[in-house]
Amino acid sequence: MSFPRDSSVFNKFRFASLPVELFYEIHIYARNPNLPIASKHIYMTLSNAPRSVKALYILNIWTSYPTIGEYLVRGGLNRILKYPICTREVIEYCFTLLVPPYHLRPPNNWTEPPPWRPTITIKMTFSIPSRLIYDIAQPSTRKNAAAFVEYLCNLPPVYCQRLPDRLERGILVLCPIGNSEKPLVTAIEARSISLVRSLLRCGMHPGSRNNAPVRAAIEQRDLALVKLVIDGDMEPMVTSKGDEMPDLHEYQRISVPVDRSMLKRAIKMQAKDIVEWFIKDKGLTLP
C-alpha cells in the first residue's frame, strides 16, 4: 500500500518524526558518520544526545579488541579523541564501558608481585587533537578545552592483568605527546600556567623549534611563565584533599640554556621584570 507524498499518513511516518530513542539506536548501530549531517533535525537531535549514546557510537565503530590494554596499545585513544563529540564526560564513559575497566588504584584481585618479578610499567603515548589546540587559542572555548587537555595529561594508570602481546601483568601509563611545539606554545599564549605545567610534566620540550615556547613566554611579558618554561620548576601535584599525588610520568626537569637573543626579545617587549631576571639571576649582559 502506498501513500501520496502530500498525504497526512506519509507526513506522519517521516524519518524525522521517529522517536528520539530510536534515533539513538540507529545512530549507534548504523556506524555511518554521515548520518548526523543528513538534516538539521537529525544533527540537533544527535548533538544533544547523552554521553552514553556518544560513547557507544564511538566504541561500536572501533572496538574490536577483548581488553582495554589491547585497545589502547592499538591506538584506541587516538581514535576516540578525533571525534568532536568526545568530551571529558564521553571519554570517561568510554573507559567505564571497556572491559576490564581502568583503575586509579590497583583492583581488589591485584596482589603484590614477588621481588624477583616486578610489575612492568609501559608508557603509552597518544596525540593531542588539533581541534583542542585550536579551541585553546579561542577565548570563547579556551576554558573548557584547556581543562580537557589538562585532564588528558593526568589520566589515571591502567592496571592490566595481562599486557597485550605478553603474558605478564603490568601498568599502562597514558601520556599525551605533541607532533610539534604547538600545544605548548598555545598553552603559553593562553597564559594557562597549570596547563603548561602539565604539558611539561608529560615530556614536551620547552626548547623545541629554536626555543619557540621560550619566545612565546617572553612575548606574554609574564615572568612566572618564563621561569616555568626555562627552569622547569615543578610544584608537586596534589589531590582535592591536599595530598601529594605520585608523578606517573616520572618527570625529568629540563632546563633551557639562556642566551642574549632571549634578553634582546625581553627588551623589545619592554618586560622590565624579565630583563632584570635575565641579568641578575642568569648572568646575561646587556647587548
- The per-residue pLDDT for range 45-92, each reduced to its tens digit, is 888 889 988 888 887 776 566 566 666 766 778 888 888 888 888 888
Q: Is 170 helix (H, G, I), strand (E, B) or coil?
A: strand
Q: Read off the pLDDT of each residue in 7-32 and give the average, rounded to a whole number.
A: 70
Domain 179-237+253-287, CATH: 1.25.40.20
Q: Which three cell numbers stand for residue 232?
A: 622547569
Q: How far apart are CA 195 and CA 17, in angstroms?
A: 45
Query: Would you kindly state where each structural domain of the chain is located, as residue ranges?
Result: 50-103+120-177, 179-237+253-287
Q: Is the pLDDT of residue 241 over 60?
A: no
More confident position, 104 or 211: 211
Residues 6+ apart with CB under 8 A from 254: 200, 205, 206, 207, 232
pLDDT, tens only, 158-210? 777 666 666 567 777 778 875 567 888 999 999 988 889 888 888 788 887 78
Sign, CA torsion 243/247/252/258: negative
Closest CA to 189 of 154, 219, 224: 219
